[in-house]
């Protein structure tokens, strides 16, 4: 038997224990170990077999690192057949999370018991896959087709209690000693001569499914899937559970799984899964770095951003004090928070008593002396360096030694802010994305002098409040906003060259962006970019640059807030509508600038908007602003709604081929000038050597 799976006989019960930290993933040795253990148990005096796991969780799925490599025997389906055909009942004992292949193992067992805190689920869709070891065939047989469809297409786990109601778990064992409880349960089953309950023996009556059910489901998934194929294949696999006998259904599921596991979509989503976990790790931080305790937080500024950040902390039970300049601003800030929570309660996503608990954790003050006992301060006032420096000087005086002083700035120089204090080692950037209580990304900005334990603490706190953290060094706009500049620039240039706003946005939305850049500009307010540009002295003097954004602001079309920007908006529904007036304005501007408008393909729109992101990303890597290419992908997927199924801009570039990207950038350089289209040295080097960003990242 392998050392990750053990088997012992405890009285008349055989116990198989899986011990493959951290999450008991089904690596080859685990599969082989379970197979051997079940086989051995057939020959001994056991009357029932308990399958349980050591550590923090039941099996959390297939070993994702094995996908994309040649298959290794035994495959999971083979192991499950051995479990299902056992002559003695096999009982899965679940704690933590039984996910994906892990839950499929449990479903192949004859009985399932779980502690109340456990969760079960089939999250494969989040990796661009479908459950490939019977999940799509067994869940509908037990829980019904509709419930199976919801569970497998959402990928969301469900609590053990709910799973029990759905028939997916047979018995809830208190939260104390799962294994002892499972052994007792197994003994009871053996004594009572309980049958070998095999889910495969249940059949679904096709007449119970309303005609057209699967076609409708497929259409609904297509609407939500933004071009992803996995949800569609899941519907097909579940349909097979209804129309085909079990073995044929399993075969169909297997074929579909094989198609998905080799798809670029799944490769991209798997890349993001690991990138997200990697991003939280700071390369040069000693492993034994101690973090500081964060028991109370202060937020400076009660605007939309400050309020959202305060909610992040209150949501995890950390008291927050909000600081504003006067009572009026303070009560406005606290009022917005209260309104946001009330909406969440009205939507049924939060219990009213929980809302009150959270609101009770947020207090307000107009006095900096209230900050003497806080462990972390996050400044979230508007983007003005002098103002921020003034605030940090006050924080330096008022906060206790060791308090972490963070700025939520999106652009300003964190080192210049730190220089306003006598403790630059305690100063760090914590760049949240709006709305801060919803958006997953937290860009952690490392100043020149930021201490290691400050970084370790901020990464830990970020995880605690449910954020995905990525580290950036200081530069204008850090990773995300710095890269965005070229994306927005080209979206506007394309208008002058002949596109309509709808054409630019739709092409990028078809690519998978949640919202095109021009519609996004309208949502954020076109005056935001306008003001930021006015404040910059380093922008090239080119009348074409951000021309349409400027023209629209100057005639009062600021975006959604004025009912019109690149589009006009239905006052009732806020639906965007193309506006012939804007199209005329664009043509007039192009004429004034001597630009001959032409027909532009979707392909050119994608390349012109995305390749500047990639090129700037390469510069960010060569300057050491980002730690790794995959961190940039994390920033874009979680902060800028870049489609996860494309893996982020750097992964996407690797897929397109860096040589192709490089050649195209050179072509644009010839057409539109050196100023905007100079390939990054790193891109040039990698394109020349035939390497990918991923390979460079792994070696650097």
Token pair for 527: 């005056």
Which of 123-131, 388-396, 496-504, 619-627 is the region at the interface with ligand 3H9 (rule: CB under 6 A)?
A: 123-131
- 462 makes contact with ligand 3H9 (CB under 6 A): no
- 413 makes contact with ligand 3H9 (CB under 6 A): no
Number of residues assigned to the chain = 700
State in angstroms the smallest separation of the CB of 50 from ligand 3H9: 21
User: Nearer Cβ to ligand 3H9, position 9 or 29?
Assistant: 29
**Of residues 358-377, which lie at the interface with ligand 3H9 (CB under 6 A)?**
none
Residue 314 neighbours by CB under 8 Å, 6+ apart: 320, 358, 359, 361, 362
- 101 makes contact with ligand 3H9 (CB under 6 A): yes
User: Nearer Cβ to ligand 3H9, position 77 or 308?
Assistant: 77
User: Nearer Cβ to ligand 3H9, position 12 or 291?
Assistant: 291
- 62 makes contact with ligand 3H9 (CB under 6 A): yes
- 124 makes contact with ligand 3H9 (CB under 6 A): yes
- 181 makes contact with ligand 3H9 (CB under 6 A): no
Residue 344 to residues 47, 336, 438: CA-CA distances in angstroms? 51, 13, 12
DSSP per-residue letters across 250-305: HHHHHHHHHHHHTSHHHHHHHHHHHHHHHHT--TTS-TTPPPPP---EEEE--SHH
State in angstroms the smallest separation of the CB of 399 from ligand 3H9: 31
State in angstroms the smallest separation of the CB of 33 from ligand 3H9: 16
- 556 makes contact with ligand 3H9 (CB under 6 A): no
- 133 makes contact with ligand 3H9 (CB under 6 A): yes
Token pair for 578: 């193309």
State in angstroms the smallest separation of the CB of 81 from ligand 3H9: 13
Nearest partner of 114 among 71, 172, 75, 168, judged by Cα: 172
Which of 98-106, 353-361, 430-438, 524-532 is the region at the interface with ligand 3H9 (rule: CB under 6 A)?
A: 98-106
CA angle in degrees (0–180, nearest 5) for 337-343-346 = 145
Contact (CB, 8 A) for 366 and 325? yes
Residue whose entry in the numeric block shows the structure tokens 């994608």: 606
- 25 makes contact with ligand 3H9 (CB under 6 A): yes
- 152 makes contact with ligand 3H9 (CB under 6 A): no
State in angstroms the smallest separation of the CB of 627 from ligand 3H9: 14
Residue whose entry in the numeric block shows the structure tokens 């490939």: 132
- 277 makes contact with ligand 3H9 (CB under 6 A): yes
State in angstroms the smallest separation of the CB of 653 from ligand 3H9: 23
Active-site pick, 84, 104, 276, 324: 104
Which of 58-66, 235-243, 305-313, 325-333 is the region at the interface with ligand 3H9 (rule: CB under 6 A)?
A: 58-66
Token pair for 547: 């021309």
State in angstroms the smallest separation of the CB of 134 from ligand 3H9: 8
- 621 makes contact with ligand 3H9 (CB under 6 A): no
List, in sequence order, every beta strand (DSSP E) within 554-647: 568-569, 576-577
Omega before 113 cis (within 30°)?
no
- 99 makes contact with ligand 3H9 (CB under 6 A): yes
State in angstroms the smallest separation of the CB of 158 from ligand 3H9: 14
User: 130 — phi, psi (to 5°)?
Assistant: -125, 160
- 516 makes contact with ligand 3H9 (CB under 6 A): no
User: Nearer Cβ to ligand 3H9, position 135 or 231?
Assistant: 135
State in angstroms the smallest separation of the CB of 631 from ligand 3H9: 14
- 100 makes contact with ligand 3H9 (CB under 6 A): yes
Nearest partner of 22 among 61, 63, 56, judged by Cα: 56
Relative orientation angle of helices 28-43 and 76-84, to the nearest 10 degrees: 20
Give the Cα separation of 454 and 410 in Å (integer). Answer: 19
User: Nearer Cβ to ligand 3H9, position 256 or 474?
Assistant: 256
Give the Cα separation of 116 and 399 in Å (integer). Answer: 43
List, in sequence order, every beta strand (DSSP E) within 4-161: 5-10, 13-18, 48-53, 90-94, 97-99, 111-115, 119-121, 158-159
Token pair for 260: 């998905």
Nearest partner of 614 among 672, 665, 546, judged by Cα: 665
Residue 437 neighbours by CB under 8 Å, 6+ apart: 308, 309, 311, 312, 315, 340
User: Nearer Cβ to ligand 3H9, position 82 or 133?
Assistant: 133
Residue whose entry in the numeric block shows the structure tokens 């799944």: 266
- 97 makes contact with ligand 3H9 (CB under 6 A): yes
Token pair for 137: 């065939």
For residue 443, the cross-strand partners are: 431, 470
- Interface pattern 73-92 for ligand 3H9 (x via CB under 6 A): ---x----------------
Which of 61-69, 178-186, 522-530, 678-686 is the region at the interface with ligand 3H9 (rule: CB under 6 A)?
A: 61-69
Catalytic residue flag (residue 124): yes
Contact (CB, 8 A) for 462 and 442? yes
- 65 makes contact with ligand 3H9 (CB under 6 A): yes
Which of 31-39, 119-127, 364-372, 424-432 is the region at the interface with ligand 3H9 (rule: CB under 6 A)?
A: 119-127
State in angstroms the smallest separation of the CB of 373 from ligand 3H9: 31
State in angstroms the smallest separation of the CB of 89 from ligand 3H9: 23
Contact (CB, 8 A) for 371 and 320? no
Distance of CA 472 to the CA centre of its chain: 18
For residue 546, the cross-strand partners are: none
Give the Cα separation of 586 and 591 in Å (integer). Answer: 9
Alpha helices (H) along 281-384: 304-314, 327-346, 352-361
- 559 makes contact with ligand 3H9 (CB under 6 A): no
Nearest partner of 561 among 599, 594, 528, 590, judged by Cα: 528
State in angstroms the smallest separation of the CB of 219 from ligand 3H9: 25
- 279 makes contact with ligand 3H9 (CB under 6 A): no
Residue 511 to residues 84, 95, 504, 648: CA-CA distances in angstroms? 43, 40, 11, 12
State in angstroms the smallest separation of the CB of 328 from ligand 3H9: 42
Q: Of residues 3, 22, 193, 326, which one binds ligand 3H9 by CB under 6 A? A: 22
- 70 makes contact with ligand 3H9 (CB under 6 A): no
Active-site pick, 84, 124, 239, 502: 124
Catalytic residue flag (residue 47): no
Please count the CA atoms within 13 angstroms of the CA of 237 that sit on its side-chain side: 34
Tell me the number of residues near ligand 3H9 by CB under 6 A: 26
User: Nearer Cβ to ligand 3H9, position 129 or 229?
Assistant: 129
Give the Cα separation of 678 and 384 in Å (integer). Answer: 31
User: Nearer Cβ to ligand 3H9, position 223 or 283?
Assistant: 283
Residue 305 neighbours by CB under 8 Å, 6+ apart: 380, 408, 432, 434, 436
User: Nearer Cβ to ligand 3H9, position 123 or 697?
Assistant: 123
Q: Of residues 128, 132, 643, 648, which one binds ligand 3H9 by CB under 6 A? A: 132
Which of 6-14, 93-101, 224-232, 602-610 is the region at the interface with ligand 3H9 (rule: CB under 6 A)?
A: 93-101
- 131 makes contact with ligand 3H9 (CB under 6 A): yes
Q: Where do contacts with ligand 3H9 occur on this chain (CB under 6 A)?
A: 22-23, 25, 57, 60-65, 76, 97, 99-101, 104, 123-124, 127, 129, 131-133, 135, 274, 277
Q: Which residues are part of the catalytic machinery?
A: 104, 124
């Amino acid at each position: 038997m392998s050392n990750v799976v053990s088997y012992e006989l405890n009285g008349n019960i055989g116990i198989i224990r899986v011990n493959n930290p951290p999450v008991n993933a089904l690596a080859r040795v685990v599969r082989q170990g379970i197979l051997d253990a079940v086989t051995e148990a057939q020959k001994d005096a056991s009357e029932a077999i308990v399958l349980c796991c050591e550590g923090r969780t039941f099996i959390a799925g297939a070993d994702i690192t094995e996908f994309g490599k040649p298959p290794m025997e035994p495959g999971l389906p083979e192991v499950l057949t051995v479990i299902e055909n056992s002559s003695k009942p096999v009982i899965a004992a679940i704690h933590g999370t039984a996910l994906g292949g892990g839950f499929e193992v449990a479903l192949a067992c004859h009985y399932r018991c779980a502690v109340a805190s456990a969760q079960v689920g089939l999250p494969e869709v989040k990796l661009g896959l479908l459950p490939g070891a019977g999940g799509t065939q067994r869940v509908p047989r037990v829980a019904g087709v509709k419930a199976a469809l919801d569970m497998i297409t959402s990928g969301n786990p469900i609590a053990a209690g709910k799973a029990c109601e759905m028939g997916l778990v047979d018995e809830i064992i208190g939260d104390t000693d799962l294994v002892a409880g499972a052994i007792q349960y197994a003994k009871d089953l053996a004594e009572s001569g309980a049958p070998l309950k095999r889910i495969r023996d249940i059949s679904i009556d096709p007449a119970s499914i309303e005609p057209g059910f699967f076609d409708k489901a497929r259409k609904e998934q297509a609407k939500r899937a933004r071009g992803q194929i996995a949800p569609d294949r899941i519907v097909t696999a579940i349909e097979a559970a209804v129309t085909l006998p079990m073995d044929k259904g399993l075969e169909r599921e297997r074929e579909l799984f094989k198609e998905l596991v080799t798809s670029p979509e799944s490769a991209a989503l798997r890349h993001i899964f690991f990138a997200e976990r990697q991003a939280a790790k700071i390369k040069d931080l000693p492993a034994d770095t101690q973090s500081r305790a964060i028991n109370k937080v202060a937020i400076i500024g009660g605007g939309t951003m400050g309020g959202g950040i305060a909610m992040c902390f209150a949501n995890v039970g950390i008291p927050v004090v909000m600081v504003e300049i006067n009572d009026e601003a303070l009560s406005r800030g606290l009022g917005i928070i209260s309104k946001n929570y009330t909406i969440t309660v009205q939507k049924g996503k939060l219990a009213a008593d929980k809302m009150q608990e959270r609101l009770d954790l947020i207090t307000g003050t107009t006095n900096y002396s209230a900050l003497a006992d806080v462990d972390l301060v996050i400044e979230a006032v508007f983007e003005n360096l002098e103002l921020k420096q003034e605030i940090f000087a006050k924080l330096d005086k008022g906060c206790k030694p060791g308090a972490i002083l963070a700025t939520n700035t999106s652009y300003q120089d964190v080192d210049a802010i730190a220089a306003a204090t006598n403790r630059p080692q305690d100063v760090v950037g914590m760049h949240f994305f709006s709305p801060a209580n919803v958006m997953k990304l937290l860009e952690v900005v490392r100043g020149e002098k930021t201490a290691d334990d400050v970084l370790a603490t901020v990464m830990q706190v970020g995880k605690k409040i449910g954020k995905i953290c990525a580290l950036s060094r200081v530069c204008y706009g850090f990773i995300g906003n710095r890269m965005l500049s070229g994306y927005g620039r080209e979206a506007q240039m394309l208008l002058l060259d002949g596109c309509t706003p709808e054409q630019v946005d739709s092409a990028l939305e078809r690519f998978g962006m949640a919202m095109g850049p021009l519609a996004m500009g309208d949502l954020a307010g076109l005056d935001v970019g306008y003001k930021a540009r006015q404040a910059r002295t380093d922008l090239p003097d080119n009348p074409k640059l951000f021309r349409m954004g400027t023209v629209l602001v100057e005639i009062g079309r600021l975006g959604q807030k004025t009912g019109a920007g690149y589009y006009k908006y239905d006052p009732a529904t806020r639906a965007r509508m193309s506006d012939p007036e804007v199209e005329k304005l664009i043509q007039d501007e192009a004429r004034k600038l001597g630009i001959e408008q032409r027909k532009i393909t979707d392909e050119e729109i994608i390349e012109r908007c995305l390749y500047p992101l990639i090129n700037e990303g390469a510069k960010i890597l060569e300057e050491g602003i980002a730690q790794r290419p995959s961190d940039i992908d994390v920033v874009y997927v979680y902060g800028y709604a870049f489609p996860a199924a494309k893996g982020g801009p750097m992964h996407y570039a690797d897929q397109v081929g860096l040589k192709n990207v490089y050649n195209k950038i050179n072509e644009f350089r010839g057409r539109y000038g050196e100023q905007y289209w100079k390939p990054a040295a790193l891109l040039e080097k990698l394109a020349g050597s035939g390497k990918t960003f991923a390979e460079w990242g792994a070696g650097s």
